[in-house]
Amino acid sequence: MEKNPWRDQFPQLTGKDDAFLDSAASSLKPLSVIAAVDHYYHDLSVNIHRGMYASSYEATRLYEEARAKVAAFIHAEEEEIVFLRGATAALNLVASSYGAAMLGPGDEIVVSELEHHSSFLPWQAVAAKTGARLVFVPLDPDYRITVENVRKVITTKTKVVALTYVSNVMGYVTPMRDVIALAHAVGAVVVADAAQAVQHLPIDVKSLDVDFLAFSGHKMLGPTGIGVLYGKAALLAAMEPVEFGGEMIDEVNKDRSSWKDAPFKFEAGTMPIASAIGLGAAVDLLDSIGLSAIEDHVVRIRRYAYTQLKKVEGIVIYNPTADTGVIAFNIEGVHPHDAATFFAEQHVSLRAGHHCAQLLIKALGIEACLRASFYLYNTYADCDRLVAVAKEAVRFFKGVGF
Ligand SMILES: Cc1ncc(COP(=O)(O)O)c(C=O)c1O
């Protein structure tokens, strides 16, 4: 079996032969990201954009350099990159600022049952406030979003299309380019939840012509506490901030105040400086390895694991045709939390539950499921262990009578 060329860069894996198969929840962090965060705390550790001394200038430079790296990574302009706490904060900002201002009774927001709660709940809340209506794209028999089905629900009433780019449970890639064309034909904006996309697919926001795109640093080798909202410059310029405080103002008066231009008007208060700098280092690493090399690897090992796992009697797999590195499955008759505990005891880290996608779990007609997710540091040995422990689990739970 081939040696994984990237695994050594992840200290969490050093000296362990545990199979970490939960990267869709959060990826492991490479040495270069840890070093960038450490450099900030060790050598700088000061605030940005305000200190008139060398360490503050340097911290500001690194923070803004991280913004430039993220912008280049998705082919955006720097002023179109808003740093926020994560994809959740980014999606909430679009809904509560753009959505609340633009939507009213009679308007429609297109969503799907594949959405992560972070991509669905902000729109549910805005619909309740504004009188706009949520419209669901019917999923196909594999529970995918298809262009044909999106076409069925987009009408002249559609003002927002808020869809996941890659499903966190099924690993399906939404045909986003075609969805965007359909939405734009009726003057609607598209909000793409790219929390599971940016770490797998090259994204060019300009050529895609997407209006808003949200993602989190911690799923793409970066630190926690930092995420990104990309918005087209004209849309961000027209949006009001939803958080107010230090550093986002132009001028404050007793009667009314004014804000800086985007992205700064959306970055109120002290930002997660170290995390942003760490995200810049994560982008460097993804760029130097190349997303296509990463995705070739992920798809290859996912296929290998899937091919073995589907042969195990008693295992039911919900996404045989996944496009990227996720297997959603259950052991027949066994609660996934019990199963995940069994896997954990055998040093296989999986996720169990509804994966913040209860609408999908309900559509699948189950209570919950297990999810194995793969990333660049996973190996064929991890897959073999997953399959071996799955076989043991089936035997064990049969023994205790299910
Ligand atoms: C598809 C999708 N959207 C949004 C999120 C929310 O990301 P965060 O919790 O980092 O804000 C996640 C996280 O699991 C996700 O998988």
**What CATH number is attached to the domain comprising 340?**
3.90.1150.10
- Least Cα distance to 206 among 233, 179, 172 occurs for 233
Domain range spanning residue 255?
A: 32-288
pLDDT score of 402: 53
Structure tokens at 361: 């779990």
Q: How many residues does the chain have?
A: 402
* Model confidence pLDDT, tens digit, residues 236-245: 999 999 999 9
Neighbours of 281 (CB within 10 A): 25
User: Chain-wide mean pLDDT for the chain?
Assistant: 97
State whether 303 and 168 are in the same domain: no
Residue 118 CB less than 6 A away from ligand 1: yes
SS3 state of residue 95? helix
Structure tokens at 64: 């803004």
Residue type, 33: V
Q: Interhelix angle for 291-309 vs 380-399, to 10°?
A: 30
State whether 261 and 326 are in the same domain: no
Percent share of the chain, pLDDT over 90: 97
Catalytic residues, which ones? 356
pLDDT score of 400: 64
State whether 72 and 138 are in the same domain: yes
Residue type, 159: K
pLDDT at 1 over 80: no
- The pTM score is 0.97
pLDDT score of 342: 97
- CATH of residue 171's domain is 3.40.640.10
Q: 114 C-alpha vs ligand 1 centroid, how far in Å?
A: 12
Q: Out of 196, 216, 229, 354, give the residue to mutate to test ligand 1, the one with the largest number of ligand atoms within 8 Å of its CB.
A: 216
Rounded CA separation 328/318 (Å)? 6
Angle at 313 between CA 312 and CA 314, to 5 degrees: 110
* Model confidence pLDDT, tens digit, residues 22-58: 999 999 999 999 999 999 999 999 999 988 999 999 9
Rounded CA separation 83/216 (Å)? 10
Rounded CA separation 314/320 (Å)? 15
Q: Evaluate whether residue 66 is within a structural domain.
A: yes
Q: Out of 27, 85, 88, give the residue to mutate to test ligand 1, the one with the largest number of ligand atoms within 8 Å of its CB.
A: 88
Rounded CA separation 236/393 (Å)? 51
Q: Hey, CA dihedral for 142, 23, 8, 29, is it positive or negative?
A: positive
How many domains are contained in the chain?
2
Strand partners, 344: none
* Single residue among 233, 259, 288 that ends a domain in this structure: 288
Q: Evaluate whether residue 27 is within a structural domain.
A: no
Which residue is closest in CA terms to ligand 1's atom 16? 168
241 to each of 98, 132, 262, 300, how far by Cα in Å? 10, 21, 9, 43
